[in-house]
């Protein structure tokens, strides 16, 4: 989790970590014996009673069909299927959440789509450019040309492109942003698409605080503006209020007469 949450971490690198995690977890299926032995040994060191089987409780006669149910002979036999079930469920959850990967389905999830767009901006990979242009309905030729030009310009000027933050810094240069509008458009699409549900969950949590019973008549436009201010409170507090008031008051002569800003 510490690696995944790095500020300079790319989505493609995170998905590679997920693939490594999936392989590591699936490799635990054959290690139950060593896991059980180490667990029992640790319990003995801590003075904890070793695992034992529960007393067998026969079902009521009216529910007993006469067949003998399976009963594990040792605690190890009892916990083995539980261990394998936990490993299989974790692998299935990773496959369902992150889609395609080694030993998993071929479905392309939102994370994979964003990773392809990220790779198109960072490396100008032909396959990722084609998939990204088709998904976002962009001009593939222009997008490929602009992404390749971005690579060439950054290489000539010594600008590293290791993450989307580097792409943002490079495209903040006015001449480069005007020269590569397709890159700017794709970057905006990628940055506005959350890679996880955390951003949406935080927005809903903030919405519950904003639109309460006392603000039930708030318009949609006002709610959007209030939500932006609440979510980005740090940037809001960092603004120069005097400069904002001056800009507001000096836009029209009527405001200048009312507020007295010259």
Q: Is residue 65 part of a domain?
A: no
- Assess whether 33 and 86 both reside in one domain: yes
By the 8 A CB rule, do 125 and 18 touch? no
177 has a pLDDT exceeding 80: yes
Q: Which two tokens stand for residue 72?
A: 């594990």
CB count, 10 Å around CB of 169?
A: 14
> How confident is the model over 58-89, as pLDDT tens digits?
777 777 777 777 788 888 888 999 999 999 99
Mean pLDDT, residues 45-52 taken together:
87
Cα distance between residue 70 and residue 95, in whole Å: 32
End-of-domain residue from the set 192, 208, 224: 192
Q: Is residue 240 part of a domain?
A: yes
* Confidence band for 5, pLDDT divided at 50, 70 and 90: low
Of all helices (H) and strands (E), which one includes residue 260? none
Question: Mean pLDDT of all residues in the chain?
Answer: 82
Q: Is residue 64 part of a domain?
A: no
- Assess whether 86 and 18 both reside in one domain: yes
- Assess whether 221 and 151 both reside in one domain: no
- Assess whether 15 and 93 both reside in one domain: yes
92 has a pLDDT exceeding 70: yes
pLDDT at res. 85: 93
Look up the pTM and report it.
Answer: 0.51
- Assess whether 185 and 217 both reside in one domain: no
End-of-domain residue from the set 168, 192, 216: 192
CA-atom Rg of the chain in angstroms:
29
Q: Is residue 116 part of a domain?
A: yes
Instruction: Please report, rounded to a whole number, the percentage of residues in the chain having pLDDT higher than 90.
Output: 11
Residue numbers of the domain that contains 141: 110-192
pLDDT at res. 102: 45
- Assess whether 50 and 123 both reside in one domain: no
Q: Is residue 88 part of a domain?
A: yes
- The dihedral over CA atoms of 205, 211, 214, 217, expressed in degrees to the nearest 10, equals -170
Mean pLDDT, residues 215-237 taken together:
86
109 has a pLDDT exceeding 60: yes
- Assess whether 17 and 93 both reside in one domain: yes
* Confidence band for 106, pLDDT divided at 50, 70 and 90: very low
Of all helices (H) and strands (E), which one includes residue 91? helix 75-98
- Assess whether 89 and 164 both reside in one domain: no
Mean pLDDT, residues 233-258 taken together:
88
- Assess whether 118 and 187 both reside in one domain: yes
Q: Is residue 103 part of a domain?
A: no
- Assess whether 121 and 89 both reside in one domain: no
How many domains does one find in the chain?
Answer: 3
Cα distance between residue 182 and residue 186, in whole Å: 6
> How confident is the model over 140-149, as pLDDT tens digits?
999 999 999 9
Q: Which two tokens stand for residue 120?
A: 């198109």
By the 8 A CB rule, do 9 and 71 touch? no
Cα distance between residue 200 and residue 205, in whole Å: 9
- Assess whether 89 and 124 both reside in one domain: no
Q: Which two tokens stand for residue 171?
A: 């495209």
End-of-domain residue from the set 171, 192, 213: 192
Q: Is residue 188 part of a domain?
A: yes
pLDDT at res. 105: 44
pLDDT at res. 104: 45
The DSSP code for 30 is: G
- Assess whether 173 and 221 both reside in one domain: no
Measured in residues, the chain has a length of 262
Q: Is residue 253 part of a domain?
A: yes
111 has a pLDDT exceeding 80: no
Mean pLDDT, residues 8-32 taken together:
82
């Amino acid at each position: 989790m510490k690696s995944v949450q790095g500020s300079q971490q790319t989505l493609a690198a995170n998905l590679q970590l997920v693939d490594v995690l999936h392989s590591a977890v699936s490799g635990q299926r054959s290690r139950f014996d060593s896991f059980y032995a180490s667990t029992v040994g640790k319990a003995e060191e801590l003075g904890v009673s070793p695992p034992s089987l529960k007393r067998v409780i026969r079902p009521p006669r009216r529910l007993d069909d006469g067949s003998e149910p399976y009963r594990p002979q040792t605690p190890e036999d009892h916990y083995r299927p539980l261990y394998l079930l936990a490993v299989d469920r974790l692998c299935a959850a990773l496959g369902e959440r992150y889609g395609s990967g080694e030993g998993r389905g071929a479905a392309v999830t939102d994370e994979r789509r964003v990773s392809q767009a990220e790779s198109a901006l960072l490396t100008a990979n032909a396959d990722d450019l084609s998939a990204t242009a088709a998904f976002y309905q962009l001009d593939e030729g222009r997008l490929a040309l602009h992404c390749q030009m971005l690579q060439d310009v950054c290489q000539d000027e010594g600008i590293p492109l290791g993450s989307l933050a580097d792409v943002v810094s490079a495209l903040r240069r006015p001449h480069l942003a005007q020269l590569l509008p397709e890159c700017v458009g794709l970057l905006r699409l990628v940055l506005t698409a959350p890679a996880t549900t955390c951003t949406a969950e935080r927005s809903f949590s903030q919405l519950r605080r904003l639109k309460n019973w006392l603000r039930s008549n708030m318009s949609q436009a006002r709610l959007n503006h209030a939500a932006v201010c609440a979510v980005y409170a740090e940037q809001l507090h960092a603004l120069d209020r005097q400069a904002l008031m001056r800009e507001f008051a000096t836009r029209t002569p009527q405001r200048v007469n009312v507020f007295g800003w010259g």
